[in-house]
Structure 1
């Protein structure tokens, strides 16, 4: 299924409703940033689809996602250490995991 830029932006907006991103008062237009990222991803996807098999594409997307999730986790841990410098690394990781899981 091939979706265009506007459809992908709409889907991204729907995904964010469940878990909004915190742009932390950055002096940038949020919609412009989303559009820039989505344009780049669609261009990369088009190039990848032309070069790789469906199995290779899936592997590349899984590895890319794993890398981004790991990078995000590390950034959150670094922020948590700045906000709450006390505690061991294991305690800080548990606090971060509780934050990700949300209220139950």
Structure 2
């Protein structure tokens, strides 16, 4: 049985305990936003599962995750540049890249 929206919200809450998201002071209802995102993802998953093989689904999920991680890294770098004096973010960025490179060595 695949988890539904409520189960996914509970699982997301468990994930966020270890890696909390910073909604800062954005004018959004955090719970409503989580619900909206998960609902959309569950609907997309259902459509994908109905039209693609298991291998194609896995490929779509891997590529989607890679795109999101890359986008997140770029946004993180932009924030570092805004928050740090000229060149101050370079050391933090290099440390982040080293962490990802270690993963390359294990693959």
Whether TM exceeds 0.5 here: the answer is yes
CA RMSD after TM alignment: 2.1
Q: Is there any run of 5+ residues in structure 1 with no aligned partner, and where?
A: none
Q: Work out the number of aligned pairs and report it.
A: 99
Structure 1 residue aligned with 2:8:
8
Structure 1 residue aligned with 2:51:
51
Runs of 4+ residues deviating >4 angstroms? none
Partners of 1:39 and 1:55 lie apart in 2 by 23
Provide the TM-score with structure 1 as the length reference: 0.87
Provide the TM-score with structure 2 as the length reference: 0.84
Choose 47-56 or 80-89, whichever is displaced more: 80-89
In structure 1, the residue corresponding to 2:23 is in which secondary structure? coil
Partners of 2:33 and 2:73 lie apart in 1 by 21
